[in-house]
Structure 1
Amino acid sequence: MEKWFIRNTKNFLEKNSKSLGISNLLCKLLANRGITTFDSAMSFIKPEFDQLHDPRLMKDIEKGASIIIDKIEKGKKIRIIGDYDVDGVISTFLLYKALIRCNAVVDYDIPHRILDGYGINIDIIKKAKNEGVDTLITCDNGISAIEQIDYAKDLGLTVIITDHHEVAFSEDIEGNRIYKTPNADAVIDIKQMDCNYPCKTLCGAGVAFKLVQVIFEEMNIPKEEAFSFVEYVAIATVCDVVDLIEENRIFVKKGLEMINNTQNMGLKALIKQTGIEDKNINVYYLGFIIGPCINASGRLDSAKMGLRLLLTDNITEASEIALELHKLNTERKEMTIKGVDEIVQIIEGSNIRNDKVFIVYKPNIHESIAGIIAGKIRERYNVPTIVLTDSEQGVKGSGRSIEEYNMFEELSHCNELLKRFGGHEMAAGLSLEAMNVDALRERMNRLTTLTEEDLTRKIRVDGLISLDKINLALAEELTILEPYGKGNAKPLFAEKDISISRSSILGAKKNVLKLKLLTESNKQLDCVYFGDINSFEVYIIEKFGQSELDKMHNGLKNNVKLDMIFTIEVNEYNGNRTVQLILQSYR
Structure 2
Amino acid sequence: MKYWSIKNEQPKESIDFRALGLQEWEFRILVNRGVDTKEKIQNYLHPSMDHIHSPIALKDMVKAGNLVQSVKGKIRIIGDYDCDGVMSTTILMKGLRGLGYDVDYRLPHRREDGYGMKPYMAEEAARDGVEAIITCDNGIAQFEAIQKAKALGLKVIVIDHHQLVRREGEEVLPDADAIINPHQEACSYPFKGLCGGALAYYFINYLYTISGNIETMDKDLIGFAALATVCDVMELIGENRDLVTCGLEQLNRSQNIGLNALRDAAGIKGDIDAYHLGFILGPTINAAGRLDTAADGVELFLTEDEDFAKKTAAYLRELNRKRQDLTTEGLARLEKQLASPKERVQPIYILKDETIDESIAGIIAGRIKGKYHRPCIVLTSGKDGLKGSGRSIDAYNMVEQIRKSEKYLSSFGGHAMACGLSLRKDQFIAFKLDAIEKSDLDPRDLIPRVRLDTIMQLDKVSAETVERLNRLKPFGNGNPKPLFGATGVYVSQYRILGKNRNVIKLELFYNQARYDGILFMPADEFLAFANEAKAPDGSLCIDMAYVPTIDTFNNRNTLQFQIEDLRRSKR
- The TM-score, its normalising length taken from structure 2, stands at 0.95
Q: Residue type of the partner of 2:40?
A: S
Query: CA 1:193–1:447 in 2, change beyond 3 Å: closer, same or farther?
Result: farther
1:60-459 counterparts in 2 under 5 A? 60-71=60-71, 75-171=72-168, 177-222=169-214, 225=217, 228-276=220-268, 278-349=269-340, 351-459=342-450
Shift of 1:13: 8.1
SS at match of 2:561: strand
**Structure 1: gaps (5+ residues):** 172-176, 549-558
**CA distance in 2 between partners of 1:39 and 1:186 (Å):** 34
SS at match of 1:450: coil
SS at match of 2:281: helix
Query: CA 1:443–1:197 in 2, change beyond 3 Å: closer, same or farther?
Result: farther
Q: Residue type of the partner of 1:45?
A: L
1:446-485 counterparts in 2 under 5 A? 446-485=437-476
SS at match of 1:134: strand
1:583 equivalent in alignment to 2:570: no
Query: CA 1:342–1:579 in 2, change beyond 3 Å: closer, same or farther?
Result: same
Query: CA 1:183–1:433 in 2, change beyond 3 Å: closer, same or farther?
Result: farther
Using the aligned pairs only, state the percent identity: 38
Per-residue CA deviation, residues 97-156 of structure 1 (Å, 9 max, x unaligned), is 111122222110000011111111122222112212222111111122222222322333
Shift of 1:21: 2.5
For 1:536, which of 526, 544, 547 is the aligned residue? 526
Q: Residue type of the partner of 2:190?
A: P
Query: CA 1:413–1:64 in 2, change beyond 3 Å: closer, same or farther?
Result: farther
Shift of 1:425: 2.0
**CA distance in 2 between partners of 1:441 and 1:211 (Å):** 43
Query: CA 1:565–1:390 in 2, change beyond 3 Å: closer, same or farther?
Result: same
Per-residue CA deviation, residues 142-174 of structure 1 (Å, 9 max, x unaligned), is 122222222322333222111111122244xxx
Answer whether contact 1:399 1:428 (CA < 8 A) is retained.
yes
**CA distance in 2 between partners of 1:12 and 1:424 (Å):** 29
**CA distance in 2 between partners of 1:263 and 1:190 (Å):** 32
Per-residue CA deviation, residues 292-340 of structure 1 (Å, 9 max, x unaligned), is 1111111111000111100000001101101111111111110000011
Answer whether contact 1:14 1:27 (CA < 8 A) is retained.
no
**CA distance in 2 between partners of 1:296 and 1:338 (Å):** 16
**CA distance in 2 between partners of 1:228 and 1:506 (Å):** 40
Answer whether contact 1:213 1:226 (CA < 8 A) is retained.
no
Answer whether contact 1:499 1:561 (CA < 8 A) is retained.
yes
Query: CA 1:345–1:437 in 2, change beyond 3 Å: closer, same or farther?
Result: same
**CA distance in 1 between partners of 2:204 and 2:34 (Å):** 30
Q: Number of aligned pairs? A: 567
- The TM-score, its normalising length taken from structure 1, stands at 0.92
Answer whether contact 1:111 1:120 (CA < 8 A) is retained.
yes
Answer whether contact 1:166 1:422 (CA < 8 A) is retained.
no
For 2:544, which of 552, 564, 569 is the aligned residue? 564
Answer whether contact 1:79 1:133 (CA < 8 A) is retained.
yes
- The residue number in structure 1 matching 2:517 is 527
Per-residue CA deviation, residues 477-528 of structure 1 (Å, 9 max, x unaligned), is 11111111011111111122222233223345543212222222x1111111
Answer whether contact 1:347 1:353 (CA < 8 A) is retained.
yes
**CA distance in 2 between partners of 1:215 and 1:442 (Å):** 52
Shift of 1:35: 0.3
**CA distance in 1 between partners of 2:137 and 2:326 (Å):** 26
Query: CA 1:442–1:76 in 2, change beyond 3 Å: closer, same or farther?
Result: farther
Shift of 1:388: 1.4
**CA distance in 2 between partners of 1:148 and 1:247 (Å):** 32
Q: Residue type of the partner of 1:193?
A: E
Shift of 1:205: 0.4
Query: CA 1:459–1:223 in 2, change beyond 3 Å: closer, same or farther?
Result: farther
Shift of 1:242: 1.1
**CA distance in 2 between partners of 1:148 and 1:408 (Å):** 24
**CA distance in 1 between partners of 2:99 and 2:267 (Å):** 36
**Structure 2: gaps (5+ residues):** none
